Structure 1
């Protein structure tokens, strides 16, 4: 079986950041998948599942309600390794195209204090698995430590 592209990224050299994970063609349309990497792979603890679940709810809600990006948002969700999120947009983009959006998204999640959208038992498959304070913490940490100081090594996969 052929190995998928994301397994060919050198995770020992990968920094937290915003990366184009892949681009797919659906007919004449391009879909761009981004790797929003919050943690140093294999070098720091992965994010807590409850915090990630909350961030998934907040992130998907924020993006799908964005005036500019709502209709372009296909998916926002956690990586299985719990070191970041995938976000998929309809369109052909590079990492630089979503820097401001990503900053806005993580500021929103860092400062969110209301009821978590879609977290009621009737709305969510595991409504007990949420942690808003930790979601706030992880979002602020990523914003302060990475998004505020982006460089080329945070926007392009290591070669």
Structure 2
């Protein structure tokens, strides 16, 4: 691959990364100086494993709601279409260790959850596709490898 593509993750060699990890994927600066830091939270090894959609969907809902109990810097938490991880967009937050701490706190909250927030037809576009236990299983697995999160490449 010689031509640089517009999407940062399309320029990442997915055969060389080693999940699980959290990496700073991109930084955008607005015209007034605000910055968006996009973090790649890779849960599954690309092209070898993926999250099942009901658990992924519930984990998205849980992290989106619960992360904001710890900070007002979260802009968005978005699942990757390949179902291997999530992107965390943070406003004016370039503290990598702080992001790791935020992810850890949020996933620990997920393990304590008794229900998936906004898991109904009024608040969710596919309310039938959820699994609290699936979300907890994903969170438990990622937390179990906490000491690996800073190492992106094998």
Q: Same fold (TM over 0.5)?
A: yes
* CA gap 1:42/1:150 in 2 versus in 1, 3 angstroms: same
Shift of 1:151: 6.1
Q: Of residues 2, 25, 35 in structure 1, which corresponds to 2:40? A: 35
Cα drift, residue 110 of structure 1: 2.6
**CA RMSD for the aligned pairs?**
1.9
Per-residue CA deviations over 1:74-122 (Å, capped at 9, x if unaligned) read 001200110000110101415323111111111122332x221101111
Which position in structure 2 is the counterpart of 1:109?
110
Which position in structure 2 is the counterpart of 1:125? 125
CA-CA distance at 1:32 after TM superposition: 0.2
Task: Mark the CA change 1:132 to 1:92 in structure 2 (over 3 Å): closer, same or farther.
Answer: closer
Kept in 2: contact 1:57–1:117 (CA 8 A): yes
Question: In the alignment, which residue of structure 2 is the partner of 1:153?
Answer: 151
Counterpart in the other structure of 1:74: 75
Judge conservation of contact 1:23–1:92 (CA < 8 Å) in 2.
no
Indicate whether 1:62 and 2:66 are aligned.
Answer: yes
Q: 1:131 to 1:94 in 2, by over 3 A?
A: same
Whether the 8 Å contact between 1:110 and 1:138 is mirrored in structure 2 is no
Q: Does 1:22 align with 2:36?
A: no
**In structure 2, distance between residues paired with 1:5 and 1:142:** 23
Aligned runs of 1:46-61 on 2, under 5 Å?
Answer: 46-61=50-65
**What residue ranges of structure 1 are gaps of 5+ in the alignment?**
none
TM-score with structure 1 setting the length: 0.86
* Aligned residue-pair number: 149
Aligned pair in 2 of structure 1 residues 14, 2: CA closer, same or farther (>3 Å)? Answer: closer
Give unpaired runs (5+ residues) of structure 2: none
> Quick one: structure 1 residues 151 and 82, their matched pair in 2 at CA, closer, same or farther if it must change by over 3 Å?
closer
